[in-house]
């Protein structure tokens, strides 16, 4: 692993696949022009609309999105993480799939979200992801890159389950990716502190691309795509507008924090 620049993209994705991918390409281009070698897109970057519309278009979204990720990775010669998009499975449901694509266009890591967001919030919004999404059955794995370090992938609601990230840390993760579409209501209280906790307890970098603003109807997300270092310091924050959070991933910082705070070596359980 060597030092490199990573980017966490922030979008306000809508129910238009074409418009979303055009905007994603603009942000990828912006990130690469700032030196990014790892570019991470948020959950639902390709489509964010009504669940019925998502299911009706799932095959098209899946095919177009996978091809888009491969094209972007090859065109810009970077690693690209597509942070969660619908992929049809048997029956009438989809997986919420995150896909990591290398600069040669090869899919090197794929993860189906295991924790589904079924909650009733005090702001009177109800979410039932399991109505249209089939939970993944396998824990995420890491992708070991000589240049970019060991990358672990998760999706959004996973961030509330620390055991998943300890699993990735035990596999040797250096960087934890948490692409999300965090609700505006929960995000204001929980987003930052959860990301910092995952970074601190596992002494890893955290890269968290995000959705922001109003997508359709009453669907609002929190924003604040960010990159956090292994000490828990926020080194980049995109705020609340679409854009890019960009920062250096430093193996020197990683080694220093792990030397000073060797939590992973002190585990009892």
CA nearest to 101, candidates 149, 11, 39: 39
Are 180 and 159 contacting, i.e. CB atoms less than 8 angstroms apart? yes
pLDDT in tens, 155-171: 999 999 999 999 999 99
Q: Which of 70, 113, 177, 204 is catalytic?
A: 113
Residue appearing with tokens 């809508």: 14
pLDDT in tens, 58-91: 999 999 999 999 999 999 999 999 999 999 998 7
Rounded to whole angstroms, the Cα distance separating 71 from 112 reads 22
Written as six digits, the tokens of 29 are 């281009």
The answer to whether residue 170 is catalytic is no
The answer to whether residue 156 is catalytic is yes
Residue 197 has pLDDT above 90, yes or no: yes
> What's the pLDDT band for 126 if we cut at 50, 70, 90?
confident
Residue 19 has pLDDT above 80, yes or no: yes
Residue 125 has pLDDT above 80, yes or no: yes
Which string of DSSP letters, residue by residue, matches 118-180?
A: EEE-TTS-EEEGGGTBPPP-S---EEEETTTEEEEE--GGGGG-HHHHHHHHHTT-SEEE---
**In whole numbers, what is the pLDDT of the chain averaged over residues?**
96
Kind plus residue range of the DSSP H or E element containing 200: helix 184-202
Are 218 and 125 contacting, i.e. CB atoms less than 8 angstroms apart? yes
Structural domain span for residue 158 = 4-265
Mean predicted confidence (pLDDT) in 142-166: 97
DSSP helix/strand/coil, 228? strand
**DSSP-derived pairing of the beta strands 205-208 and 94-101:** unpaired
Q: Which of 43, 54, 70, 177 is catalytic?
A: 43
Rounded to whole angstroms, the Cα distance separating 79 from 73 reads 6
Residue appearing with tokens 């994705």: 13
> What's the pLDDT band for 123 if we cut at 50, 70, 90?
confident
Quote the pLDDT of residue 56: 94
CB atoms inside a 10 Å sphere around CB 258: 17
From 48-52, 156-160, 197-201, 221-225, the region with the lowest mean pLDDT: 48-52
**DSSP-derived pairing of the beta strands 142-145 and 149-153:** antiparallel
Are 177 and 189 contacting, i.e. CB atoms less than 8 angstroms apart? no
Task: Please report, for the domain that includes residue 136, its CATH number.
Answer: 3.60.110.10
Q: Which of 37, 54, 70, 156 is catalytic?
A: 156
Q: Is 105 exposed, middle or buried (0-12, 13-18, 19+ CB in 10 A)?
A: middle
Are 29 and 71 contacting, i.e. CB atoms less than 8 angstroms apart? no
Number of domains in the chain: 1
Q: DSSP letter for 90, please.
A: S
Rounded to whole angstroms, the Cα distance separating 242 from 42 reads 11
> What's the pLDDT band for 121 if we cut at 50, 70, 90?
confident
CB atoms inside a 10 Å sphere around CB 77: 11
């Amino acid at each position: 692993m060597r030092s490199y620049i990573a980017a966490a993209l922030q979008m306000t994705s809508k129910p238009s696949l074409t418009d979303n991918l055009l905007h994603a390409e603009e942000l990828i281009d912006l990130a690469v022009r700032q030196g990014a070698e790892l570019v991470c897109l948020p959950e639902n970057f390709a489509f964010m609309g009504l669940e019925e519309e998502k299911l009706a278009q799932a095959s098209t979204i899946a095919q177009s999105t996978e091809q888009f990720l491969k094209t972007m990775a090859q065109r810009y010669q970077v690693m690209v993480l597509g942070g969660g998009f619908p992929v049809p499975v048997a029956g009438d449901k989809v997986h919420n799939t995150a896909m990591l694509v290398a600069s040669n266009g090869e899919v090197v890591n794929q993860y189906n979200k295991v924790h589904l967001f079924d909650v009733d919030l005090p702001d009177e919004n109800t979410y039932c992801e399991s109505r249209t999404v089939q939970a993944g059955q396998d824990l995420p794995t890491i992708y070991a890159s000589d240049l970019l370090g060991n990358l672990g992938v998760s999706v959004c609601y996973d961030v509330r389950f620390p055991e998943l990230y300890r699993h990735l840390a035990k596999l040797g993760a250096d960087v934890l990716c948490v692409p999300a579409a965090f609700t505006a209501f929960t995000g204001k209280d929980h987003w930052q502190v959860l990301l910092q906790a995952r970074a601190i307890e596992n002494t890893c970098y955290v890269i968290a691309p995000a959705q922001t603003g109003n997508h359709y109807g009453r669907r609002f997300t929190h924003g604040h795509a960010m990159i956090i270092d292994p000490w828990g310091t926020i080194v980049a924050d995109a705020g609340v507008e679409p854009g890019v959070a960009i920062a250096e991933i430093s193996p020197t910082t990683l080694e220093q924090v792990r030397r000073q705070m060797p939590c992973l070596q002190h585990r009892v359980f």
